[in-house]
Amino acid sequence: MIPMNHYLLLSAVMFIIGAAGVMTRRNAIIVFMSIELMLNSVNLTLVAYSAFLGDVTGQVLVFFVMAVAASEAAVGLAIIIALFRRKQTVNLDEINLLKW
């Protein structure tokens, strides 16, 4: 049997990779994908706990996380499209109107 901390470690590694992607990449879409990666790692943790503790609440929560992630992806991509229309770029370094 697979001990629980294996699942948790896997989730941690995926989360870290996603965080690194968010902080490092300059392409906005790649950043979004990294965010999805992070969300998925959290999903994995929730499902693992749900299975090991025998409580279904974790899986229901995952269900909702997925729903929210879907809508968030939709809106986020719409924003990127609107931004692209404005500035013809998705390079995050150039989207800095809030600069001092």
Binders of another protein: how many residues, by CB under 8 A?
80
CB of 56 to another protein, least distance (A): 4
Gyration radius of the chain over CA positions:
17
Contact between 42 and another protein per CB under 8 A: no
- Contact status, residue 42 vs residue 15, Cβ threshold 8 Å: yes
Which residues in the 52-81 window bind another protein by CB under 8 A?
A: 52-57, 59-60, 62-64, 66-75, 77-81
- Contact status, residue 68 vs residue 76, Cβ threshold 8 Å: no
CB of 42 to another protein, least distance (A): 11
Cα angle: 32, vertex 69, 39; to 5 degrees? 70
Cα separation, 8 vs 76, whole angstroms: 28
Contact between 95 and another protein per CB under 8 A: yes
Which residues in the 1-40 window bind another protein by CB under 8 A?
A: 1-10, 12-27, 29-34, 36-37, 40
